[in-house]
Chain A
Amino acid sequence: MTGHRTVFVVDDDEAVRRALTFLLHTTGHAVEAFPSAAAFLAGYNPERRGCVLLDVRMPHMTGLELQQELNARGWSIPAIFITGHGTVPIAIAAMKAGAFDFIEKPLRDEALLESVERALGWDESAREERLELAVLRTRAALLTPREREVMDLAATGEPNKAIARRLGISFRTVELHRSHIIEKMQARTVSELIRMSILLQQDKG
C-alpha cells in the first residue's frame, strides 16, 4: 500500500541527500532525490502522493521560498523541514507558511521516520477528503437553491416547523424538500447529511 507513496528528498549537499535516501530505502520507502528546490519544482507531478523532505538552507531558493511556491501553485504535498543549528527562526517562519513539520539536525531517525509516516498519512487523508468533497460538490450541484437553503438550515439542527416559518413556506413543503435532498445527496442518515452540509459550507467559506 506504501508502494505508490514517495518521499521526495531535496538537499543541495549530495552526501546528505544520498544518506537520507539510503535510510529511507532501508525503511521501505520509495525515495526520489533532487539537488535543489528548482529541480524539485520542475520534476514533481502534484498528482503523486507522498511528502517532501527538504533542507531549510539551500542556495538560490531556500526551503521557505519553496514552501511559498508550493502554496502559490496550490500543491498540497506536506513538506518536512530539516533545520540546522541557528535556523530555527526560519523553520518557524516555514511552519507559519504551512510547512508540515521541522526536524533539527543532526537527525534522530525515529523522529524523522515518525514525521515522514505522519506526513504520508496526512497526505493520504487530505487526498481522500479532497476526493469526498469533490463528490459532494457534484451531488450538491443537483440541489435547487431552495433545497440548498433547507439543507443548510437543517444542518444547524432547526426543526421542520421552524424552517417552514423562517422561509415562509408550509410544513409539508419542507418535508418534501428534505426527502429530495436525502435522495440527491445519497445520505443514509440525517447525521450523515449534517456532516455533508458542514463540509460543503467549510469548502465555501
Chain B
Amino acid sequence: MFATSVEQLLTPVLRDRLARSHPRARRLLSALALSGGYVVLYLVLDRISFLRALHGIDVTPWNPPPGLTLLLLLVKGLSYTPATVLAALLSSQILPLVNVPPLTGLAAALVIGLGYAAAAGVLRSVLRIDIRLRRARDLVLLMVVVTAAAGFVSVGFVAIYALSGIIGWSDAPEAGFQLWIGDAVGAVVLAPLLLVARDHLQSRRLTAWRWSWRGTLETAAQLASIGASLVIVFGIAQDRYSFQLFYLLFLPVVWIAARRGLGGASWAVLAVQIGLIAALDFQDKSADTIRSFQLLMFAVAATGLLLGAAVSERHRVARALLESQGRLAAILDTARDGVLTIDQRGRVESVNPAVEALFALPADVLTGCHVGDLLPGAYALERLTSTSGVASRHELDIRRADGTLLPVELTVGTFGEPGGEHYTLVLRDIALRRRAEATARAHQSELAHVSRLSLAGEMASALAHELNQPLTAIAAYGRGCLRLLRQPAPEPLLLREGLEQLVGQAERAGDIISRLREFVSSGTTQRRLVAVGTLIESAVALARIEAAQNGIDVRVRIEPNLPPVPADRIQIEQVLLNLLRNGMEAILGADVADRVLTVEAARTSGGAVEIAVADSGPGVGAELAAQLFEPFVTTKPLGMGLGLAISRSIVEAHQGRLRFVRRDGTGAVFAFELPAHEEVDDWA
C-alpha cells in the first residue's frame, strides 16, 4: 500500500511511462517505497513505546515493532530482511539516551532482523501457516514461533550490548527478560491484529458491510466494558489491588472474542494493552511492575486471540456448511431427476421437488413414507441396498398418485458411516425415452417390412416358377383324370392315383403360398423363444427354391443342443434370407464351378448362438468391405442397397451383432450372434 501511495505522487504520464518502459525499475521503486514506509512506521512505534527504557537503551517492557516486522516479512517475503535490519540499526542510533557505537548497533540490528526473518521463514516455508489466520492452528504456531524468536533475539541482543560494555553483565539477565517480554507481548498483540486487518481489508470489497443500531450499540458497550475494567483495575482499586483485580480485564476481551471472533479479539487486546500501558505510565509504575503486568497481558492476549480464532473458525465452518447446504438445496430443487434419501430402515427422509412431480404427491406426504410404499414390491430394501452404485441401474414402473404407471430409471447411492448408512435414490423419468424407443422400433419394423417386400419381389421369378411346377402338375393330373373318365371303362386305380397326386401337388402349392404370405405380410414384431433349427430351416426352405433353379447346393449344419433364442422369427428369417440371397448372387455373378452355400449355427464362447452364412463366391473386396453395411451401397444392378443395413439393424434390435468375416481366397462369410435365452436380462 505504500508503493501505491508513492506511485500516486507521480504524474499519471510519468507513472505510465515508468510502467511501460521499466517494469523492473517500477518494481524496485515500489519495494524501496514500501521499505521506507516500514522504516518510518517502525521508528514511530519504537518512539511511542520507548518507556521505562533500561539504562537508556532500547529495551522496554512493551515493544510493538517486531509485530510490524513480522507483518512485512510474512506478507512480502524474506527479501525485505535488509529493511528490517536497517530499521533496527536506525532505531539504535536515534532513540537510545546513551551512545551506541555503530558496529554494535549493526550487530544488534542484524540479530533482530535475522531473528525475525528466521521466524517468518519457519512460519511460511516449514510450518506453512495461512497468514490470514483462518484456522486456530495458524494463530497458535504464530504465537509460539514469535515468542521463541523473541527469546533468541533478546539473548543475542543483550549479549552484544554486554560485550560492547554498554550494559554490565550483571544487568544482562534483567535486560534480556525485559526485552523478551516486551518483544513477545508486542509481537503477539500487534502481528495477529495487522494480519487479520489486512485480510479484512482485502476481502472487504467482496462482502458489503451493513450498519445497524444493534451493532453500533454492541460495539459501544464492548468499548465501554474495556474502559470500565481499566478504570476499576487501575482507577478505583489502589496499588495493592490492581494486581488481584487484573483478571477483570479478561471479561471484556472474552466477551468481544466470543462475539466477534479473531478480528474483534485482536482489537480488544490492543485496546487493553494501550490502556494498560497508559495507566501504568500515568501512575508512574516501575519497569519491574510493568513487566509483571505485561506477563499478565501476554495471558490476556493469548486467551483472547485463541478464543477469537476458535470462534472465527467455527463461524467459518458454519457458514461453509450453510453455503454447501444451500448449494445442495439449489441443485436438488432445480434437478430434473427425483432425488430422495432414505434411512437404514427404508423411511423416506427427504425428497426434492422432482420427486413430488414424479409421484404427484406433496413432500410432506412423501417424507415419512416407507420406500416400499413408493416402489414396486420387487424393490425390497435389502435389494436396493445391495445394489447401490452408479453402475447398477434398474428400470421399473412407479405408480403415481392418480394410479397411472410411470417408467423410471433408478440409481442407488450410499452415504453415512458404516452401520448407520443412508441411501439416496435417484429416479429419472424415462417415459419420453421409452416412447422414442418405441417409435424407433416401429420405424425399424416398418422399414424391415418394406425391405421384406422388396426381397420377395426380387425372388418373384423364382417363386413364380416354383409355383408353376405344382400348378402344371395339377393341371396335367386333372386333365388326365378327365380323359380317363371319358373312356368307356376308366381304370379306377389309375384315376385314384391321379387324384391323389393332384391333391398332393395342390398342398405343395399352398405351402409355398402360405410361407411367402407369412414372410411378406407381417408388419408387427413379435418376439418369442424360437428354436434355432426352425429359424434356419424355414429361411433355407425359401432360399432353396432359387438355389435349386440355379444349381446351387445349400448345406445346413446345426450344432446339437442349441438353446432357443428370443427372436422375431420373421425378421431373423429375413436376415438369413438376405444373407443367403447375397451369397447366391455372389456365386452366380462369378460363375464359379463349386456352387455351395453353407449355413452353420453354433454356440459361441460367450454363450450366445452364432449363425454364419458362407458362400463359395469370389469374396468381398477390401473397398466394398469397408462400407458393406452402409445403406444404399450395392453391387447389384437392381438392388436398393438396403439388405445388409436393415439386416444389421434387425440383429442389433435383437441385442446381437452382424459382421462380415474376412476369408482368404474362397467366398465370403457373414455371421450374426443372438443372445441365448438364459443370458437375456429379463430382470425388470
Contacts and interface: CB of A to CB of B under 8 A. Distances in A.
A106 B464 contact: no
Given A13-B469, A13-B473, A86-B464, 9 more contacts: A15-B508, A16-B476, A19-B472, A22-B476, A22-B501, A23-B483, A26-B480, A26-B483, A109-B480
A75 B465 CA distance: 29
B471 A105 contact: yes
A85 B464 contact: yes
Contacts of A74: none
A143 to B, nearest CB: 53
A18 interface: yes
B551 A19 contact: no
B473 A15 contact: yes
B501 A84 contact: no
A18 B473 contact: yes
Interface residues of B, number: 29
A109 B464 contact: no
Contacts of B498: 22
Nearest to B473: A19
B549 interface: yes
Interface in B484-508: 484, 494, 497-498, 501, 504-505, 508
Contacts of A106: 468, 471-472, 474-475
15 contacts: A13-B469, A15-B470, A18-B501, A19-B473, A19-B477, A25-B480, A26-B483, A57-B549, A84-B464, A105-B468, A105-B472, A106-B468, A106-B474, A107-B476, A109-B480
Nearest to A113: B479
Interface string B449-481: 000000000000100110011111111110111
B321 interface: no
A108 B549 CA distance: 24
A204 interface: no
B548 interface: yes
A202 interface: no
A60 interface: yes
Interface string B535-556: 0000000000000111100000
Main secondary structure of the interface of A (DSSP, over half): loop
User: Which of B464, B473, B548, B551 has its CB near the most chain A CB atoms (within 10 A)?
Assistant: B473
Nearest to B477: A19
Nearest to B504: A15
Given A18-B473, A19-B501, A84 B480 contact: no
A168 interface: no
Nearest to B551: A59
User: Which of A23, A57, A87 has its CB near the most chain B CB atoms (within 10 A)?
Assistant: A23
Nearest to B549: A57
Contacts of B473: 13, 15-16, 18-19
A15 to B, nearest CB: 4
A19 B476 contact: yes
Contacts of A108: 475
Interface residues of A, number: 24
B475 A109 contact: yes
Contact of B479 (A15, A16, A23, A86): A23
Contacts, number: 82
Main secondary structure of the interface of B (DSSP, over half): helix
A27 interface: yes
Contacts of A26: 479-481, 483-484, 494
A107 B474 CA distance: 10
A85 B468 contact: yes
Contacts of B550: 59
Contacts of A60: 551
Nearest to B485: A26
B544 to A, nearest CB: 12
A116 interface: no
Given A59-B548, A59-B549, A23 B468 contact: no
Contact of A23 (B461, B464, B471, B477): B477
A66 interface: no
A82 interface: yes
Q: Pick the 5 closest A-B CB pairs, nearest first.
A: A19-B476, A19-B473, A109-B479, A59-B551, A23-B480
B243 to A, nearest CB: 128
A20 interface: yes
Contacts of A57: 465, 549
Contacts of B471: 105-106
A60 B550 CA distance: 8
A15 B505 contact: yes
Contacts of B470: 15
B497 to A, nearest CB: 8
B501 A16 contact: no
A65 B396 CA distance: 67
Contact of A19 (B465, B483, B505, B549): B505
A86 B461 contact: yes
Interface in A39-85: 57, 59-60, 82, 84-85
Contacts of B480: 19, 22-23, 25-26, 109
Given A15-B505, A59-B550, A82 B472 contact: yes
A46 to B, nearest CB: 27
Nearest to B483: A26
B574 to A, nearest CB: 24
A108 B494 CA distance: 21
A19 B475 CA distance: 8
A15 B483 contact: no
B456 to A, nearest CB: 15
B549 A15 contact: no
A22 B465 contact: no
A59 B501 CA distance: 24
User: Which of A26, A57, A59, A109 has its CB near the most chain B CB atoms (within 10 A)?
Assistant: A26
Contacts of B475: 19, 106-109
A27 B498 CA distance: 14
Nearest to B547: A59
A109 B474 CA distance: 11
A84 B468 contact: yes
A168 B473 CA distance: 70
A25 B517 CA distance: 36
Contacts of B468: 84-85, 105-106
A19 B472 CA distance: 8
Interface string A11-37: 001011011101101110000000000
Contacts of A85: 461, 464-465, 468
B487 to A, nearest CB: 8
A83 to B, nearest CB: 9
A16 B472 contact: yes
Contacts of B548: 59
B267 to A, nearest CB: 108
A27 B481 CA distance: 10
B464 A15 contact: no
Contacts of B469: 13, 15-16
Contacts of A107: 472, 475-476
A105 B494 CA distance: 24
User: Which of A15, A25, A59, A87 has its CB near the most chain B CB atoms (within 10 A)?
Assistant: A15
B64 to A, nearest CB: 114
Interface string B129-172: 00000000000000000000000000000000000000000000
Contacts of A87: 465
